[in-house]
Amino acid sequence: MPSSTHNLQGDGAHGAAASGPSLVHGLLDAAAREAPEAPAVSDGADHWTYRRLARLSHAFAQWLLAQGVRPGDRVAVRLPTSARLAVLLFGTSRAGAVFVPLNPETRGFQLRPLLADAEPALLVAEAEAAAASGLGGLTPAPVHSIEDVWADVERRADLPDGERLPGAAVAPTALAVLLYTSGSTSTPKAVACPHAQVVFAASAIQQVLGYRPDDVVLSRFPMSWDVGLYKVLLSTLGRSHLVLVGDGTSDLVLMRRIRETAATVVPVVPSLAAMLVKLAAREAEPVPGVRMFTSTGAALPQATIDGLRRAFPGARVVRQYGQTECKRLTVMPVDRDDERPGSVGLALPGTSVLIVDGEGRPVPAGETGEIVAAGPHVMPGYWRDPERSAVTFRPDGAGGLRLHTGDFGRLDEDGFLYFEGRRDDLFKRRGTRMSVVEIEAAAADIPGVRACVVLAPTDRRDLAIVVASELDPHTVLRELARRLEPAKVPAHCRTLAELPLTPHGKSDRKALAAMIDGETR
C-alpha cells in the first residue's frame, strides 16, 4: 500500500513528545515550569512571561467557574487577535470548557447560526462591537465585555494561590475547541477538537518545524482559524515568543514589525508572501533574521518561494498541507525545503497519508486519487452533525478513524505528497484532464503576476483566470499559451490590482466567481 508514513517513536529524542502533556493547558503548565521568565506572548499592549500567562489563565478559569460555566460548556469568544485571546484559550481549557473562537468580522445573519449551533454558556466580545452588532439579540447566552472580564481576571491573578479555587478535572478525550471552517455551504460546520488530538497534532508539527526558545514568531492570523490558534500552541511547545500583530495589520506595517521584533518565524499565506516579496524589493538591503517561513492556506507558487529566499537570506520556506479536521497532514522537512518542487512534504510523525480511488482502495505511487489521513491527529467529527461526519470521518478497521479530505493528489515512491486540488478543482476540458492548481502554477511563473485564481468551467461559463497584475489580459493568456497545452489555456482572463481576500487571507474564490459569472453572461 503506497503511503506517506512517519513513525513517532522513530525520531530518537523527539519520540518523548508522545508521553508529554495530554491537555491543552498542560502545554502551558510545562512551559511555565521550564521557562517561567521567558517571554511568552505579546501584542501592542501586553507582554507576558510564561509564568504570568499561566497565572492569568488560572484567573480566567476561576472567572468562568464563578459565572457558572461547567466542564463541557461552550465559551464563545468574538475578539480581534491579541495576547488576551491566548489567556482565554488556556483558561477555558483549564476550566474544562470548550473554546469557540469566532471571527470578529462575522456579523448578523452569519453569526446567528454559529451561536445557535454552538449554544455557548456565555459570549465574550468587545463592548463597542457587541453594542454595534447587537450581539445580545443573536443569542440567549449572556454577553460579557472583555474590558469588564479583564478587570476581574487581573484581580484574581494577583490573589495568593491559597485564595484561588482548584480548576476542573479534564479528560484528554474531552473537547477543547470547536473550530468553524469556511466551507462552501451556508450551514455551520464546526470541527470538534478534543484535547488529545489537538495536543498530538501540535506536538507532531513541532517535531518537524522545531520552534526554539530563541524564536520570535510573528503572526497576524485570527484564532478563529486553526493556523492562528495553533501558533499559540506551537510557540508554547518551543518556549518561543509569540508576537501577535492583529488581524487587520497592513502588509506594510507587518514588514516593519518583522524588522522591529527581529522575527525569526513568520507564517504566511500566498497573498501575504507575495506582498512581502514586493515590499522587500523596495528595501535597500535584504531583510535579515527570519529563519523560517511556513506556508498555509494554498499552494505557494515557486516564484514566490524564490522571492522570499532572495529577500530574506538564509530563510527556509516550508511547504505544508492540512485541513482543520486533522490540523496538518504533511510538512516538508525544514532542511529539505528546496527539494522536490511541487511537493507538500511527508506525513506528520506518528501518522500516515494514503491515496485511494473512488472505492476507497489504495492506488499505486504516482497515480492520482483522494488524499486520506490516518493517525491520532484525526478529529472525531463535526459538532452535532453525524451525517456529514460519517462521510468525512470513516472507520479505519483498527478502531480509529480516517479523514477523507475530498482533496486529490499523488504520492511518489518516497512518500512525498503532491497536492492536485479539490474535487471541484479537477475537471476535463476538450477531452483533457486538468487541475486549477497546475494552471495557477503556470500563471504564477509569468513575470508581473503577483497572485492568481483559476476558476473551473461551469455550465454557465468556460475556464477563467483572474490575476493580480498590471499586465493586460491578452499578455497573460499569451504567456499561458507558451507554458500550457492549448486545452488548458483559459478562455477568459481578468486582471485586478489586488485579489479580494477572505478574513483568513485566502483568495476569495466565491467573490471572484460571482464577478466572472456576471461578466461572461
Residues 391 and 484 occupy one common structural domain: no
Residues 36 and 132 occupy one common structural domain: yes
Residues 202 and 114 occupy one common structural domain: yes
- Would 12 be classed as within a structural domain? no
- Would 5 be classed as within a structural domain? no
Q: What is the pLDDT of residue 140?
A: 84
- DSSP for 31-74 reads HHHH-TTSEEEE-SS-EEEHHHHHHHHHHHHHHHHHTT--TT-E
Locate cell 512525498: which residue?
416
Residues 472 and 352 occupy one common structural domain: no
Q: What is the CATH number of the domain that holds 351?
A: 2.30.38.10
- Would 157 be classed as within a structural domain? yes
Residues 163 and 236 occupy one common structural domain: yes
Residues 55 and 171 occupy one common structural domain: yes
- Would 310 be classed as within a structural domain? no
Domain tally for the chain? Answer: 3
Residues 484 and 363 occupy one common structural domain: no
Locate cell 455551504: which residue?
185
- Would 304 be classed as within a structural domain? no
Q: What is the pLDDT of residue 131?
A: 59
- Identify whether the C-beta of residue 226 lies closer than 8 Å to the C-beta of residue 99: no
Q: Is the pTM of this model over 0.75?
A: yes
Centre a 10 Å sphere on the Cβ of residue 186 and count the other Cβ atoms it contains.
8
Residues 368 and 512 occupy one common structural domain: no
Residues 173 and 83 occupy one common structural domain: yes
- Would 109 be classed as within a structural domain? yes
- Identify whether the C-beta of residue 48 lies closer than 8 Å to the C-beta of residue 241: no
Residues 409 and 460 occupy one common structural domain: no
Single residue among 369, 395, 421 that ends a domain in this structure: 421
Q: What is the CATH number of the domain that holds 509?
A: 3.30.300.30
Residues 492 and 438 occupy one common structural domain: yes
Q: What is the CATH number of the domain that holds 162?
A: 3.40.50.12780
Range of the domain at 31: 22-249
Q: Could you list the pLDDT tens digit for every one of the 521 residues in the chain? A: 456 665 433 332 233 334 578 999 999 999 999 999 999 999 989 999 999 999 999 999 999 999 999 999 999 999 999 999 999 999 999 999 999 999 888 777 778 899 999 999 999 999 876 555 566 677 889 999 999 999 999 999 998 875 566 667 899 999 999 999 865 445 679 999 999 999 999 999 999 999 999 999 999 889 999 999 999 999 999 999 999 997 555 667 888 899 999 999 999 988 888 889 888 888 878 888 999 999 987 778 888 899 999 999 999 999 999 999 999 999 999 999 999 998 999 999 999 999 999 889 999 999 999 999 999 999 999 999 999 999 999 998 888 899 999 999 999 999 999 998 877 777 888 878 788 888 988 898 899 998 899 999 988 889 999 999 999 999 999 999 999 999 999 999 999 999 998 766 678 888 999 998 887 66
Single residue among 249, 282, 309 that ends a domain in this structure: 249
Q: Which residues make beta-bridge pairs with 410? A: 418
- Quote the CA–CA distance of 394 and 509 in Å, as a whole number: 29
Single residue among 217, 249, 281 that ends a domain in this structure: 249
Centre a 10 Å sphere on the Cβ of residue 399 and count the other Cβ atoms it contains.
6
Considering only CA atoms, give the Rg of the chain: 23
Q: Which three cell numbers stand for residue 18?
A: 508522545
Residues 404 and 500 occupy one common structural domain: no
- Quote the CA–CA distance of 77 and 300 in Å, as a whole number: 31
- Would 194 be classed as within a structural domain? yes
- Quote the CA–CA distance of 92 and 101 in Å, as a whole number: 11
Q: What is the pLDDT of residue 18?
A: 42
- Enter the DSSP assignment of 13: G
- Would 259 be classed as within a structural domain? no
